Amino acid sequence: MSRVMVSCGEASGDLYAGALAAALRRRDPAVEVFGFGGGRLAAAGAELLGDFRGLSVTGLVEVIRHLPRTYAMYRRLVAAARARRPDVLVTIDYADFNFTLGKAVHRLGIPVVYYISPQLWAWRAGRLNVMRRFVDKVLTIFPFEAPIYERAGVPVEFVGHPLVDLIPPSAPRAEVLASLGLEPAAPTVALLPGSRHNELHQILPTMVEACPLVAARVPGVQFVVARAPGLDDHLFAPLSALSQAGVRCATVEHRTDDVLSAADAVITASGTATVQAALHGCPMVIVYRLSPLTYRLGVRFVRVDTYGMVNLVAGRRVVAELIQDGFTAQAAAEECASLLTDAAKAQRVRDDLREVRRRLGGGGASDRAAAAVLAVARGETPVRARAS
């Protein structure tokens, strides 16, 4: 029986962790999976040693506020690794936490596989040298990442994007919109403001300000907020301004794929949601904002000229990006309205998104990842010499 320890610290990582755990069980029904994650990992039969809710934030400044709880979780996981001796640790994104955890577990003589590799090629590229010292294998989900790790001397395998398999069949547009009290034939914009508390604080108010501006340009337009699970109601308080402004808007949880399949366009926070929208072929405007101090501290390390994953996969800017000071209500409204009123532009974006989907690889990513993880756990894949 193989023992697999998993560490993921946010909603998107939990989604992939759950799919990985299910794939591990399909390959080895006796496998033991335990670690740090959320509801999807638990639903796949893993034993949770800790839940990431309340710890998932982005930004250098924001992370500092959560250090005591984060450190307590780190200590709990290291103690579990020492006591239970897993055959492999699988770290999923969440770079700062998982780098620290991975190095500690490596020192215990336990192999480390990094799945959903952190975007070190975009910033802090020097940490590739750190990965080379403690990671036995990196499993990438984007095709352009593998050569970067190969050049850095890190064992790597491109397994494809798990969302290709995880996008469920969607209900018909008319059924989805009618169930939300919206007009099936009206122009519809999805709003995806992120899954972390600080993202909602920084992004949702500006999205809300943009909605009446879109409505002024597109008669009859309506909006649907796809709410990430596990978020407090008070984070969505800005939405009350829409009803006061006479803008039709519905909010729904656990149905992001239905929302994207029914939408004509989406304004989305940068991140996994952009890939999800691309897989649905939904034209999008990518937005993001950090606290001013975090942005000023971090921007000097950025090594790419585009942020959205869809654009990175495409190798060029195929959808608009509004980042930090560029993310204003006016700019978001103009970009969104153009997708609703310029049919030729919207079609060009859909064509480009089809190419993005092709580049993400075929189905079976989670199963390929599970096979790679079990090969390391069973000693079928060479691992690095352990520190003494």
The CA distance from 261 to 175, in Å, is 11
Strands across the sheet containing 3-8 = 47-51, 32-37, 3-8, 88-92, 112-115, 137-140, 156-158
- Which residues of the chain register pLDDT less than 70? 54-66, 120-125, 291-305, 384-388
The most distant pair of C-alpha atoms in the chain lies apart, rounded to whole Å, by: 68
| The pLDDT value given to residue 90 | 98
| The pLDDT value given to residue 11 | 82
| The pLDDT value given to residue 124 | 58
- Reported as a single tens digit per residue, the pLDDT across 269-292 is 998 899 999 999 999 999 999 755
The CA distance from 86 to 80, in Å, is 9
| The pLDDT value given to residue 111 | 98
| The pLDDT value given to residue 369 | 98
Strands, E, within the chain: which ranges? 3-8, 32-37, 47-51, 88-92, 112-115, 137-140, 156-158, 188-192, 222-227, 249-253, 265-269, 284-288, 320-323
| The pLDDT value given to residue 381 | 84
Residue 271 falls in which region: left (phi positive, over 0), alpha (psi -120 to 50) or beta = left
| The pLDDT value given to residue 388 | 34
| The pLDDT value given to residue 123 | 57
